[in-house]
Amino acid sequence: MAQIGEIARALPRGKQLLAGDDNAALATIAFGGCGLVSVIGNLLPRETAALVAAARRGALEEARVLHQRLLPLMDALFVESNPIPLKAALELLGVCTGVVRLPLTSAQSSTRKRLAEALEELR
């Protein structure tokens, strides 16, 4: 958080600050950021957009509730190297196969279980 705060403080005029991790979006926007480069947005675009919009308009309680609701899935998406968990989650949703290119490997069964539980919690 200290690093994000320093980047926000020193940001040149005309440049925008984006969170690089989903779980840092709310804090980054609170520091003056305007959005994020998202992984979870590939799975839940409406919810991710709602989180960013709420944070940007200063509706912090709404943003906090959305952040806390999405946090288990955000965390599950990074238990292995990206995009392994993302592809597995998309497969669980029936969007695509979980196939990844070498040198990546398929998601571990424990990762798939954690993703399935996080997705189920959001339904």
pLDDT of 39 reads 97
CA 40 to each of CA 7, 9, 52: distance values in angstroms, whole numbers, following the listed order: 24, 27, 12
Q: Decide: helix, strand or coil at residue 119.
A: helix
Cis peptide leading into residue 12 (ω within 30°): no
pTM across the whole model? 0.90
The beta strands (E) that lie in the chain are given as: 18-19, 35-36
**pLDDT, tens digit, for every residue of 82-97?**
999 999 999 999 999 8
Identify residue 30 by its one-letter amino acid code.
A
Output the six-digit token pair for 6: 């320093």
Domains of the chain in sequence order: 2-122 (3.20.20.70)
**pLDDT, tens digit, for every residue of 39-86?**
999 999 999 999 999 999 999 999 999 999 999 999 999 999 999 999
